[in-house]
């Protein structure tokens, strides 16, 4: 009986260790991307590094998600200068039965080539109507955070030690950006900020965008930062 109990303990520990693995939705080029709905942001210009479509989605779960924000995803933005991040825009997808009301905290970090200190964050956000893969839906969070230069915007899925509620959209063949994920220690991967490509394979950008402007009071036409960069290539 003792040997059987010990075996169960070993199996449980092995399962728990394996559960820290990163997960993905799997490649699809048949996706549908839906713009912001009831939680749309009014203010600033929307800058993104993706091309409007997502071929996969990534997430961390269980031991891969821990305080303060291990398991986060982000996207860096350069050359916009000083101003205000009026809102964060996040492209998410899930699988049937996976989303059970989990929350997420939206962040802005200093720096884009490497995220640094936290500039500001908005905790406890609820994504409404997350699409089932391969549908990816846009979710906006009002922020109004001042930045002095390059920044990274992203989110942390608030399910430490638990199952993920959704996946962050990943663009595999777009213009290219500065994608990031913040890896927890002790789970078999390089700790801290890393390119998600080292985990999931070649990734051009993550589904994290910013409504940015000199102030956050006047809505203006949405543009793609990726398309702007393409003009100079």
Q: What is the pLDDT along the chain (233 residues), one digit of tens a residue?
A: 443 333 322 223 333 444 558 999 999 999 899 988 766 787 899 999 999 999 999 999 999 999 999 999 999 999 999 999 999 999 999 999 999 999 999 999 999 999 999 999 999 999 999 999 999 999 999 999 999 999 999 999 999 999 999 999 999 999 999 999 999 999 999 999 999 999 999 999 999 999 999 988 744 444 443 543 444 34
Of residues 144, 191, 161, the one with CA closest to residue 61: 161
On whether the CB atoms of residues 206 and 180 are closer than 8 A, the answer is yes
Confidence (pLDDT) at 39: 66
Cis peptide before 134 (omega within 30 of 0): yes
Q: Scanning the structure block, which residue is given the tokens 């995220």?
A: 115
- Distance of alpha carbon 152 from alpha carbon 87, whole angstroms: 13
Q: Is 149 exposed, middle or buried (0-12, 13-18, 19+ CB in 10 A)?
A: middle
Confidence (pLDDT) at 17: 42
List Cβ neighbours of 211 (8 Å cut-off, separation of 6 or more): 41, 43, 44, 45, 46, 47, 85, 86, 87, 88, 89, 140
pTM of structure:
0.86
56: its two tokens? 């996969």
- Distance of alpha carbon 23 from alpha carbon 19, whole angstroms: 9
Stretch (H or E) spanning 212 = strand 208-213
Confidence (pLDDT) at 6: 35
| Domain locations in the chain as residue ranges | 22-230
Of residues 62, 168, 157, 52, the one with CA closest to residue 106: 157
């Amino acid at each position: 009986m003792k040997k059987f109990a010990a075996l169960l303990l070993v199996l449980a520990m092995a399962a728990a260790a394996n559960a820290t693995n990163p997960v993905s939705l799997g490649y699809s080029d048949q996706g549908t991307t839906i713009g912001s709905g009831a939680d749309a942001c009014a203010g600033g210009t929307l800058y993104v590094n993706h091309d409007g479509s997502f071929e996969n989605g990534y997430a961390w779960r269980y031991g891969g998600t821990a305080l303060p924000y291990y398991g986060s995803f982000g996207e860096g933005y350069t050359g916009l200068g000083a101003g205000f991040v009026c809102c964060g825009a996040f492209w998410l997808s899930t699988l049937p039965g996976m989303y059970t009301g989990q929350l997420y905290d939206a962040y802005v970090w200093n720096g884009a080539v490497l995220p640094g200190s936290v500039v500001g964050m908005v905790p406890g956000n609820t994504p409404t109507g997350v699409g089932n893969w391969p549908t990816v839906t846009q979710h906006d969070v009002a922020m109004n955070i001042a930045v002095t230069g390059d920044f990274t915007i992203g989110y942390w899925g608030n399910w430490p030690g638990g199952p993920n509620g959704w996946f962050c959209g990943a663009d595999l063949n777009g213009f290219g950006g500065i994608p990031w994920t913040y890896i927890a220690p002790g789970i078999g991967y390089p700790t801290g900020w890393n390119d998600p490509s080292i985990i999931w394979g070649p990734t051009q950008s993550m589904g994290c965008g910013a409504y940015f402007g000199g102030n956050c009071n006047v809505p203006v036409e949405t543009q793609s930062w990726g398309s702007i960069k393409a003009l100079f290539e």
